[in-house]
């Protein structure tokens, strides 16, 4: 990937997006961290995700209607906008223990913006579709990141997988879920685990041919140094749980597990995994959903 390093090393920008960021005054770390407005998608202490519209020619103009969709500082981009998602991590996002683990370079404690930037590059190189990276920014103290951000391009017209599955007739829903199972198989084959593998993090981009599937929100994805099988089970359980909430039958879940394993029937170890997944699905159904999980639950 052709990337430019700017702002005294605090920003890495994909080359093709550098003119866009400069045209909108987003070519420094502090300016990006100070952006206001946009549509908020996630808002947790120390971490916020917003959707922005950037104009390729600059010249972001005030919008007369205050109820309109804001982009930057209460303004909306004029024609020719590029929609992006901005994830920002502030210094209070990490607990004191998390900050120490990051300073010690503990596995899995690294900056989530940097981790997602790297995982995006890796899975794209392996043919797995995900968001296009635009820019990474980091402020460090010593060798540890204290504040950071990640910007990715919006996937035009994409729909969350759970909403897509819910509106499909049962046979089409089954075919779609089998494709998601194959996506999970290919992703896990890299050695990575997602840690938030719900249908809401699979985006569907409709087109003239078969819809394309994109795996997003990779900020927690890791390659575990131990208990890898346990983490895979958690991913599969989250996926099965959200598939069930989207209308999948137990038969659909079994067929998806067979597709994931790539076999017409399960052997001993795979049956054990299937039973563990079903037990965890039953447990997930007793919990209050957290962010990233489907909020609509079947009785």
Task: Give the residue carrying structure tokens 């930037």.
Answer: 117
**Three-state secondary-structure class, residue 150:** strand
User: What's this model's pTM, rounded to 2 decimal places?
Assistant: 0.86
What's the full length of the chain, in residues? 299
CA distance 110 to 271: 35
- Find, among 23, 29, 30, 113, the residue nearest to 71 by Cα: 23
pLDDT 10s digit of each residue in the chain, 299 long?
A: 789 999 999 999 999 999 999 999 999 999 999 999 899 998 988 899 999 999 987 644 333 333 333 334 333 333 468 999 999 999 888 777 777 677 767 767 688 999 999 999 999 999 999 999 999 999 988 778 899 999 999 999 999 999 999 999 999 999 999 999 999 999 999 999 999 999 999 999 997 788 999 999 999 999 988 889 999 999 999 999 999 999 999 999 999 999 999 888 888 888 899 999 989 998 888 876 655 455 455 54
Cα-only R_g, the chain = 20
Cβ neighbours, 10 Å, residue 36: 10
CB distance 240 to 161 below 8 Å = no
**Three-state secondary-structure class, residue 7:** coil
At residue 101, the pLDDT reads: 73
* Domains within the chain, CATH numbers bracketed: 3-153 (no CATH), 159-284 (1.10.510.10)
- Find, among 288, 164, 163, 159, the residue nearest to 216 by Cα: 159
């Amino acid at each position: 990937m052709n990337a430019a390093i700017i702002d005294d090393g605090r920003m890495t920008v994909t080359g093709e997006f550098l003119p866009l960021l400069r045209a909108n005054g987003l070519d420094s770390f502090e300016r990006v961290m100070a952006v206001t407005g946009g549509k908020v998608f996630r808002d947790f202490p120390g971490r916020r995700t917003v959707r922005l519209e950037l104009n390729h020619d600059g010249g972001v103009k005030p919008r007369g209607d205050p109820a309109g969709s804001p982009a930057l500082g209460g303004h909306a981009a004029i024609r020719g906008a590029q929609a992006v998602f901005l994830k920002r991590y502030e210094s209070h996002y990490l607990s004191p223990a998390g900050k120490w683990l990051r300073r010690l370079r503990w596995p899995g404690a690294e900056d989530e913006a940097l981790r997602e930037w790297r995982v995006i590059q890796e899975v794209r190189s392996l043919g797995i579709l995900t968001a296009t990276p635009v820019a990474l920014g980091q402020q460090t103290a010593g060798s540890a990141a204290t504040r950071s951000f990640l910007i990715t391009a919006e996937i035009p017209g994409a729909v969350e997988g759970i909403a897509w599955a819910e509106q499909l007739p049962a046979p089409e829903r089954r075919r779609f879920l089998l494709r998601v199972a194959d996506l999970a198989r290919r992703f896990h084959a890299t050695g990575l685990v997602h840690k938030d593998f719900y249908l809401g993090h699979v985006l569907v981009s409709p087109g003239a041919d078969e819809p394309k599937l994109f795996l997003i929100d990779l900020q927690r994805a890791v390659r575990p140094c131990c208990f890898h099988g346990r983490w895979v089970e958690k991913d599969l359980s989250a996926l099965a749980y959200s598939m069930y909430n989207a209308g999948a039958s137990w038969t659909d879940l079994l067929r998806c597990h067979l597709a994931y394993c790539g076999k017409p029937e399960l052997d001993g170890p795979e049956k054990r995994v299937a039973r563990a997944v079903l037990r965890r699905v039953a447990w997930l159904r007793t919990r209050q959903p957290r962010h990233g999980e489907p909020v609509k639950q079947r009785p």
